[in-house]
Structure 1
Amino acid sequence: MKILLLAGDYIEDYELYAPLKALEMLDIDVHIVCPDKQAGDTIQTALHIVDGWQTYSERPGHPFELEHNFSDINLDDYAGLVVPGGRFPEYQRYDQRVLDIIIHFFDQKKPVAAVCHGLQLLAAAGVLKGRSCSAFPMCKLDVIAGGGEYIDFDAFSKNVHIDGNLVSAPAYPAIGVWLREFIKLLGVKVTL
């Protein structure tokens, strides 16, 4: 099974590495792509820290070397899509190629896992109309402007929201349960 993960510079570090490693553990092949970057190029991740200011601060995270070319992806090869947060959704929501990818997964009703600021991309793609989702609290207006119903969870909760093929969460503290629900949507069974 292959999963596509959208990425870009200043993606949230946890929201890139945790899904990658958890899905690899389940023998799922994760292709991480970034517009205008090729295999061998590096993207810079960021750590977003809530440290008492009116907004979070940002520190450089681990660099990540891409292994796949954005220009080479065949969307029909992928069983699902992961849309992390961080700062990259803020500028990639203006890239029609990225929006077309998201639209494809919703049109095909394939599982989509979006977290934190990743919902900005879904709102820009127009796929939230008539849907409900969670997101980082500062993205509430994006969700509403995109026609969605915002589900208000505390940003540091371990809550997720499922609406059809979409599983969403407010931020990285929910990664474990967010991924658990995503793999259920993929039809992956984990037994103990």
Structure 2
Amino acid sequence: MKVLLLAGDFIEDYELYAPLQALEMLGIDVHIICPDKKPGEGIQTALHILEPGRQTYSERPGHPFDITHDFTEAAGNLGQYAGLVVPGGRFPEYQRYDSRVLDIIRAFFKDDRPVAALCHGLQLLAAADVLKGRECSAFPMCKLDVEAAGAKYIDFEAFSKSVHVQGNLVSAPAYPAIGVWLKSFIELLGVKVSVP
């Protein structure tokens, strides 16, 4: 099974590495792509820290990461992917202006294939115009994006166990929910995980 993961400079570090490693652990082949970056070319991740008493998150440099697959090749052969992962961070704010990225997102929704979007990743879904009439969560500062796209924003008091699943879309507000977010996505993919 193959899954596509969208990435770009200043993607949230946890939201790249955690899905990659969890899906690989299950034997899923994760193809990580970025517009205008070739396999082996690097992107810079960022750590967004939710600190008590702060009005918004702070940002620190994360781990560098090398893109694994060719963007154009993946975009031309989307049928090979069982699902799509759309992490957050800062990359969605600029990639939402890239029609090639939006076309990829639209294709997954058109085919009703599983999509896992997290945090600021919902900005890309809003820009792709695939949220109309849906319910989803996102980072609280993305609530206006979600509502302007015609969706109902699902708010959670605590981030850690907060995930919302509707149809093919799994969404969550931020990286503290990665565990339950990935669990729901894996279930939508039809992957069975048994714990003794």
- TM-score category of the 2 structures, normalised to the smaller one: over 0.9
- SS for the counterpart of 2:159 is coil
Q: 1:72 is paired with a residue of what secondary structure?
A: helix
Q: Tell me the TM-score normalized by structure 1.
A: 0.98
> Which residue matches 2:133?
130
Q: CA deviation at 1:155?
A: 5.7
Structure 1: runs of 5+ lacking an equivalent: none
Q: Find the residue that maps to 1:188 and give its secondary structure.
A: coil
Q: Which residue of 1 aligns with 2:24?
A: 24
Pair 1:106 & 2:109 matched: yes
Identical residues among aligned pairs (%): 77
Partner in structure 2 of residue 40 of structure 1 = 40
Other-structure match for 1:90: 93
Q: Give the C-alpha shift of residue 156 in structure 1.
A: 2.7
Task: Choose from 144, 147, 158 the match for 2:147.
Answer: 144
Shift of residue 53, structure 1, vs aligned partner: 2.5
Aligned twin of 1:65: 66
Task: Give a deviation string over 1:9-52, Cα, whole Å, max 9, x none.
Answer: 00000000000000000000000000000001001000001223
Total equivalences in the alignment: 192
What is the match of residue 185 of structure 1? 188
Secondary structure of the residue that 2:65 maps to in structure 1? strand
**Contact 1:155/1:171, CA 8 A, preserved across alignment:** no
2:173 is matched with which residue?
Answer: 170
Conserved 8 A contact 1:155-1:170: no
Counterpart-to-counterpart distance in 2, 1:88 and 1:28? 24
TM-score by length of 2: 0.96
Runs of at least 4 residues off by over 3 Å: none
CA distance in 2, matches of 1:169, 1:88: 17
**Residues in 1 aligned to 2:16 and 2:99: alpha-carbon distance in whole angstroms:** 22
C-alpha separation between the residues in 2 aligned to 1:155 and 1:102?
28
